[in-house]
């Protein structure tokens, strides 16, 4: 299978039963630490939303959504969420969350267009979180402060896992490195965005790459972002744009970069209008979510998602996300993985 990477001399550190116990430990530990660091409380979230409300996440704008008609609502179309980036901001307003506090929830999605490999699955599970903030905190310093708190939760979780399973050694560096997409472009001008992520993760061990979605000096984007949740257009200095980014670590098992989180300060009225304009998406202004935001009915916030299975995969030193979650895989992938000591659930 061309999409399956077999690590050289791979040894699974935990058997199937111990893996299930360890998954529970990772999720409970990280969830507790994340909520404490960011002052978040858990809320219940939807699995699907009504089509045409503008609530669902469009990701890169090209992925298909899983939809179905609702018989008892005159066959109105519902769609499985891709993430809860916009729903959470509505929830902050509904729960009247004060700045400095926030919410988190379990998000589950189905993404039928994913190319299946060691880290991509049809099934997505992540912690989605959102925190109310003051308008005056719309800056890189506040973004980096928040990333640092999340990273502290990551380090404490790794410590707990390594204490319970001594065969797993800690790998996260003491601090996370902050770097702009523009700086990465200058350092590696002949590489693609993903190749630059590889080099940064290998060099630093853990990085936050900021400014994803807007054009860089070469006219290209590091990666795509929807225009209506993260702010990737606001100028943060004379040279840089963007109040969002990704947390990426070095995966020593696969010898590759591994994105664990996408997050950012959310758009305000001005940045939403500009991002809709440059993305040729101004028709969205008529949707419910966008109208509320343009009418200043939603709180300023920061938020993101953290991949649950990917985080477990990283901490438990697994070679394939299918060793963490139950999903559908090509039979040829299952056979080749099993022949190399990789048990897909």
Evaluated on CA atoms 152, 87, 300, 283, the torsion sign reads positive
To the query of whether residue 183 is one of the catalytic residues in this protein, the response is no
- DSSP assignment of 286-336: GSHHHHHHHTT-S--EEEEEEEHHHHHHHHTT-S-GGGTS-----HHHHHH
Catalytic, out of 35, 83, 121, 126: 126
Catalytic, out of 58, 182, 259, 323: 259
Catalytic, out of 111, 131, 196, 317: 111
The rounded radius of gyration (Å) of the Cα atoms in the chain is 20
To the query of whether residue 246 is one of the catalytic residues in this protein, the response is yes
Residue 168, token pair as written in the block: 């797993």
To the query of whether residue 262 is one of the catalytic residues in this protein, the response is yes
Evaluated on CA atoms 147, 57, 54, 181, the torsion sign reads positive
Catalytic, out of 246, 266, 300, 301: 246
To the query of whether residue 308 is one of the catalytic residues in this protein, the response is no
To the query of whether residue 57 is one of the catalytic residues in this protein, the response is yes
Distance CA 3, CA 176 (A): 29
- β-bridge partners, 213: none
Catalytic, out of 35, 83, 257, 262: 262
Distance CA 304, CA 213 (A): 15
Catalytic residues: 57, 111, 126, 246, 259, 262
């Amino acid at each position: 299978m061309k999409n399956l990477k077999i690590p050289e001399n791979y040894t699974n550190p935990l058997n199937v039963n111990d893996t299930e116990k360890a998954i529970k430990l990772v999720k409970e530990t990280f969830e507790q630490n994340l909520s404490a660091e960011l002052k978040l409380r858990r809320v219940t979230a939807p699995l699907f939303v009504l089509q045409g409300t503008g609530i669902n996440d469009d990701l890169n704008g090209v992925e298909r959504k899983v939809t179905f008609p609702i018989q008892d609502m005159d066959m109105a179309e519902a769609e499985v969420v891709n993430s809860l980036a916009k729903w959470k901001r509505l929830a902050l307003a509904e729960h009247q969350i004060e700045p400095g506090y926030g919410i988190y929830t379990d998000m589950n999605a189905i993404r039928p267009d994913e190319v299946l490999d060691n880290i991509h699955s049809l099934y997505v599970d992540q912690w989605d979180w959102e925190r109310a903030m003051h308008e005056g905190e719309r800056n890189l310093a506040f973004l980096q402060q928040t990333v640092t708190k999340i990273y502290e939760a990551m380090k404490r979780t790794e410590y707990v896992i390594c204490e319970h399973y001594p065969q797993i050694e800690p790998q996260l560096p003491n601090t996370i490195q902050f770097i702009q997409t523009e700086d990465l472009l200058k350092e590696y001008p002949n590489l693609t965005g993903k190749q630059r992520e590889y080099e940064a993760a290998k060099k630093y061990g853990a990085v936050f790459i900021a400014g994803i979605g807007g054009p860089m000096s070469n006219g290209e984007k590091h990666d795509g972002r929807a225009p209506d949740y993260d702010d990737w257009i606001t100028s943060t200095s004379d040279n840089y744009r963007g109040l969002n980014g990704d947390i990426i670590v070095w995966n020593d098992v696969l010898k590759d970069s591994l994105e664990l989180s996408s997050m950012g300060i959310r758009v305000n009225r001005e940045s939403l209008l500009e991002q809709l304009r440059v993305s040729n998406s101004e028709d969205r202004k008529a949707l419910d979510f966008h109208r509320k935001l343009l009418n200043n009915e939603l709180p300023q916030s920061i938020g993101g998602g953290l991949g649950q299975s990917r985080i477990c995969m990283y901490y438990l030193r697994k070679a394939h996300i299918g060793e963490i979650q139950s999903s559908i895989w090509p039979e040829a992938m299952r056979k080749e993985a099993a022949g190399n000591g990789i048990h897909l659930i």
